[in-house]
Chains A and B, each alone.
Chain A
Amino acid sequence: MTATSRAGRAVLRTWLPSGRILGGIGGPVRVLALVLIVLLALLVIPPILTLVELSFSDIGLDGTRSGFTLAHYRDLAGDTDFIRVLFNTVVFAASATLISLLLGGTLAWLVERTNTPFKRLAYLTAIVSLGTPYVLYVMSWLYILGRAGPVNQLYRWLSGGSGVLFDPYTLTGMIVVEGFLWSPLVFLLMAASFRMANAEMEEAARMNGASVFDTIRLISLRLAWPAILALAMFVFIRNIESFEVPALIGIPGKVQVLTTDIYLAVKEFPPQLGHAASFSVVMLVLIAVLIHFYGRIARQADRYASITGKGFRPRPFDLGAARPVAGAVIVVIFLIVLALPLMALVWMALTPYVAPVTLAGMKTLSLHNFIAVLTAPYYLTLAVNTLLVSVFAATTAMLLTGLAGWLAARRRFGGRIVDQLATVPLIFPGIVLGVAVLDMSLRMPFSIYGTVWLIGFAYLIRYMPYGMRYAYSGVLQLHRELEEASEASGAGVLQTLGRITAPLLSPALMAGWLFIFLIASRELSIAVLLAGPQSQVIAVAMLDLWQNGQAGELSALGLLWTVLMVIVASIFQYLERRGSTETFG
């Protein structure tokens, strides 16, 4: 006890009067850290403050603000619409989460733990569908499930009537489509955690006489439970923030959730900014609370995973006679999640107007839509704008988080603050960030509204947390002694960062860059409020095309864009792999 306090005092004595010591060791890093803290704070804090302020402002018809009011929140509390919207949001998010967990989870278990056929097909489905813009997917499922689509066509043919089996423009429709949308990601993440779990535990249960079903129930599921829970929480959060499905299906179907309510309030004339801001603040708080719990569950899941660890190829369950059934499940999921939507897109792209799949329709097939997309200067501008903002957001985010991740992982001066600042934007649903940035831009002394830079900045803010994850874990994987050896060799901190850390970290930074680039280039919900006539990006344009009923051109555009993205990703991955073999042998 006394030794402790003596040690404590000794620490104080040597660290306090000798600022020189500290300055000597951490000088340039401190300056860098301080600059970074200021930059990050300027990026992430104003949007929150703006929203809060806006939600308490009395806003006149002409947009002028006069004083403080609680009216917007009072409206919320008294509004039965608000309760309904909140209810819709929760039902929508929870049910869609359930569907994607069931689909993705079953698939993951089959692929990782049994001897089912078609394992590669399952992976192909997941990976390709992750690269496709959501707008496209939603649209193609709307076509498949819609009035004129093949499902209802089949139904009419079978029943001989003229009704519909299924109307997608309902809450149920939204849930189904959103569930499909997320199942590939759930599959990939669950497969990873099934792969990590120790198969010996399952085998031990089988040896002790448990049936396959009991083993799954008592061992596999129990062990995977924290991971499943964390994943469910994650998907639930993303579903609450979801905009594409609610916008494309919910708005025409008059089913509103929080995100579309905010969107409509801003789009209304005159814009109901106070209403949107108070809804946004509610969402921020909701998401922040959910993320807090998610963090706790995820930590728990990590602990479970590290207990079971030890990777070796487990002996898969022999499904026996059920093997063809499992194979059929995988094929059906492949059809629903990948093949049918893509075929629907191709069909729509090749037909001049939305038409049922018929032999007669075949005769009207043409490349007209593709030619229109490839020749119109409008589409070229779109592509350029989208690439510009995505490259800007990805590059700036990785530059900032590269340094931030290093400070945080090495526990350098300011590391904790930087880490927290860079992860704050996780609480922003895209549409909410859109409202905040929109309001900020209107209050800037210079005009930035309507430029692509505004969108770029919003993307930067939103995607910094992802960059942080890549950078942070990248630094953790670099042995600290690699940097220490450089300093011991006589290099200063900045030289070490430039000559040792940066080159060794570059594969991780490149991977982060690609990830941000890909999600930014298909982002809709942030940009939808920020894109002006001169600053359209592709996802917003797709939404417009959809709303104008130009499904053909939209499909052609989407297919071409997806191909472009797949090419970019492949080139990048090729370069990255080559760079990292050059570096790491």
Chain B
Amino acid sequence: MHGNGVTVENLRKIYVTSEQIAGGIHAANFNLPEGTFFTLLGPSGCGKTTTLRCIAGLEQPDEGRIEVGGTTFFDADRGIAVPLNRRGIGMVFQSYAIWPHMTVFENVSFPLRVAKDRSYGREEIRALSEKALATVGLDQFADRSATRLSGGQQQRVALARAIVREPRLLLLDEPLSNLDASLRETMRQELKRLQRQIGVTTIYVTHDQAEAFEMSDQIAVIDKGHVVQIGAPESIYFRPKNIFVASFVGNTNLVRGIATGKSGNNAATTVRLPSGAAFRCLTTDGGALNGGSAVTVSIRPEAIAVGLVKAGASTTGNGLEGVISDVAFLGNMRRYEIRLDQTVITANSDPRQTLGIGDRVFARFDLEDAIVLAE
């Protein structure tokens, strides 16, 4: 697998309006092997589009280095900035940016007709454009005016236009956000299939965590312009590094307590609640702790098993004791609110289990499901 990978180092682009920082991206770093489906995930305004536009060459970064397939596109220190039209990147815009004065075919063949690095013959242009249209399943639509297309078709035209020149890198900025819910589901799978089929390195922007999980090999979670965690979907979900990541991807319980002893990275430790109850949990990469420090622990609701505490019997395993304060039946699960001494945690449990308000229960979870978060 030869390297059409992507390296981004210390990328930084800050918008300053009248001496106030208006947003942007601070120091993004990542390294993608060829063929990776990489997702920038974060809430609105966190700097996802900014990062993407810097890579595309639509924005000039303040600092940093961008390299794709061994070619340096941008290097602030060496004063290199390849103009965007010579980067050979395919991009799908959020609005799709289908040119209304051209047919579908003219839209898709445009990148070939304006190519600077080589000139394509008439026949070649036709063949390549038809191939791209066939890839997205629009071969019947070549002569259609671009204004007479549905949202999903427009998205495919945009995609065909982005891949027609077989780019080294494909950039997608929330390409599904304009579609209705059911179409979004199908297009998600189709996009992923296409990307695998072409094998092009792809950077995808979304604020939808389900989309990110389903499609990505790697995810970068961005918060207020900072990349806070990069990893496979599983590690983002199961090993969130901080409170923001833990609560942005999925629901979680945040339990505050005091670490009882010193512990290293990725190590088990014991946390004590103010009530005196203690439970075992796991620190993350770079999450070494000193004894006595205040910590927040994330426990996903579905990782908690709820069991009735019988008078006299002692509880076994890792967990916390509390009283059920609310119950809701949701069909696929039963949700309990369990009052510990100060906090209330949520547990998603077997829908057939019938515990009631006021029952004294033991909320049990595995050591690996209780993650100590950085503040």
Distance of A139 Cα from B82 Cα, bound (Å): 65
B100:A585 contact, CB within 8 angstroms: yes
A21:B115 contact, CB within 8 angstroms: no
Which residue of chain A is the closest to B84 with respect to CB atoms?
Answer: A487
Give the contacts of B1-41 with A (CB-CB under 8 A): 12, 14, 16, 19-21
B42 contacts chain A at the CB level, 8 A cutoff: no
Q: B40-81 interface mask toward A, CB cutoff 8 Å, 1 = contact, 0 = none? A: 000000000000000011101111000000000000100111
Distance of A13 Cα from B14 Cα, bound (Å): 14
Rounded to whole Å, the gap between the CB of A481 and the closest CB of chain B is 4
Q: Which of chain A's residues have a CB closer than 8 A to the CB of B82?
A: 24
B343 contacts chain A at the CB level, 8 A cutoff: no
Rounded to whole Å, the gap between the CB of B18 and the closest CB of chain A is 10
Contact of A503 among B62, B93, B101, B165 (CB under 8 A): B101
Contact of B12 among A10, A485, A500 (CB under 8 A): A10
A306 contacts chain B at the CB level, 8 A cutoff: no
Rounded to whole Å, the gap between the CB of A491 and the closest CB of chain B is 4
Distance of A382 Cα from B91 Cα, bound (Å): 56
Distance of A499 Cα from B62 Cα, bound (Å): 31
B161 contacts chain A at the CB level, 8 A cutoff: yes
Distance of A21 Cα from B72 Cα, bound (Å): 13
A159 contacts chain B at the CB level, 8 A cutoff: no
Distance of A295 Cα from B194 Cα, bound (Å): 53
Q: Which of chain B's residues have a CB closer than 8 A to the CB of A504?
A: 99-101
B94:A21 contact, CB within 8 angstroms: no
Contact of A486 among B14, B16, B87, B110 (CB under 8 A): B110
Contact of A585 among B61, B90, B147 (CB under 8 A): B147
- Given the interface contacts A17-B79, A504-B101, does A3 sit within 8 Å of B85 by beta carbon? no
Give the contacts of A1-52 with B (CB-CB under 8 A): 3-4, 7-8, 10-11, 13-15, 17-18, 20-21, 24-25
B356 contacts chain A at the CB level, 8 A cutoff: no
B310 contacts chain A at the CB level, 8 A cutoff: no
B79:A585 contact, CB within 8 angstroms: no
- Given the interface contacts A4-B21, A583-B100, A585-B148, does A490 sit within 8 Å of B62 by beta carbon? no
B21:A584 contact, CB within 8 angstroms: no
B95:A11 contact, CB within 8 angstroms: no
The binding surface of chain B is classed by DSSP as: loop
Give the contacts of A59-98 with B (CB-CB under 8 A): none
- Given the interface contacts A7-B16, A20-B79, A20-B81, does A488 sit within 8 Å of B89 by beta carbon? yes
Q: Which of chain B's residues have a CB closer than 8 A to the CB of A481?
A: 93-97
- Contacts between the two chains (Cβ within 8 Å), count: 115
Rounded to whole Å, the gap between the CB of B151 and the closest CB of chain A is 14
B116 contacts chain A at the CB level, 8 A cutoff: yes
Distance of A13 Cα from B61 Cα, bound (Å): 11
Which residue of chain B is the closest to A25 with respect to CB atoms?
Answer: B83
A477 contacts chain B at the CB level, 8 A cutoff: no
Q: Which of chain B's residues have a CB closer than 8 A to the CB of A584?
A: 100, 147
A491:B85 contact, CB within 8 angstroms: yes
Rounded to whole Å, the gap between the CB of A181 and the closest CB of chain B is 40
Which residue of chain A is the closest to B19 with respect to CB atoms?
Answer: A4
A544 contacts chain B at the CB level, 8 A cutoff: no
B111:A489 contact, CB within 8 angstroms: yes
Q: A474-494 interface mask toward B, CB cutoff 8 Å, 1 = contact, 0 = none? A: 000001011011111111100
A interface size (C-beta, 8 A): 36
Distance of A18 Cα from B82 Cα, bound (Å): 12
- Given the interface contacts A585-B147, A585-B148, does A18 sit within 8 Å of B100 by beta carbon? no
A366 contacts chain B at the CB level, 8 A cutoff: no
Contact of A489 among B81, B114, B148 (CB under 8 A): B114
Give the contacts of B321-375 with A (CB-CB under 8 A): none
Rounded to whole Å, the gap between the CB of A290 and the closest CB of chain B is 30
Rounded to whole Å, the gap between the CB of B292 and the closest CB of chain A is 32
Q: Which of chain A's residues have a CB closer than 8 A to the CB of B76?
A: 13-14, 18
Which residue of chain B is the closest to A506 with respect to CB atoms?
Answer: B101
Distance of A4 Cα from B148 Cα, bound (Å): 47
Q: Which of chain A's residues have a CB closer than 8 A to the CB of B83?
A: 24-25
Q: Which of chain B's residues have a CB closer than 8 A to the CB of A308?
A: none
- Given the interface contacts A7-B62, A482-B99, does A490 sit within 8 Å of B114 by beta carbon? yes
Q: A560-585 interface mask toward B, CB cutoff 8 Å, 1 = contact, 0 = none? A: 00000000000000000000001111
Which residue of chain A is the closest to B62 with respect to CB atoms?
Answer: A10
A473 contacts chain B at the CB level, 8 A cutoff: no
B110:A488 contact, CB within 8 angstroms: no
Give the contacts of A190-228 with B (CB-CB under 8 A): none
Distance of A491 Cα from B97 Cα, bound (Å): 15
A534 contacts chain B at the CB level, 8 A cutoff: no
A495 contacts chain B at the CB level, 8 A cutoff: yes
Q: Which of chain A's residues have a CB closer than 8 A to the CB of B161?
A: 485, 489
Q: Which of chain A's residues have a CB closer than 8 A to the CB of B111?
A: 489-490
B247 contacts chain A at the CB level, 8 A cutoff: no
Q: Which of chain A's residues have a CB closer than 8 A to the CB of B195?
A: none
Distance of A24 Cα from B62 Cα, bound (Å): 16
Contact of B91 among A20, A488, A495 (CB under 8 A): A488
Q: Which of chain A's residues have a CB closer than 8 A to the CB of B96?
A: 481
Distance of A149 Cα from B130 Cα, bound (Å): 75
Closest A-B pairs by Cβ, 7 of them: A585-B147, A18-B79, A485-B97, A489-B111, A481-B97, A491-B114, A21-B81
Binding site for B on A (CB under 8 A): 3-4, 7-8, 10-11, 13-15, 17-18, 20-21, 24-25, 479, 481-482, 484-492, 495, 499-500, 503-504, 582-585
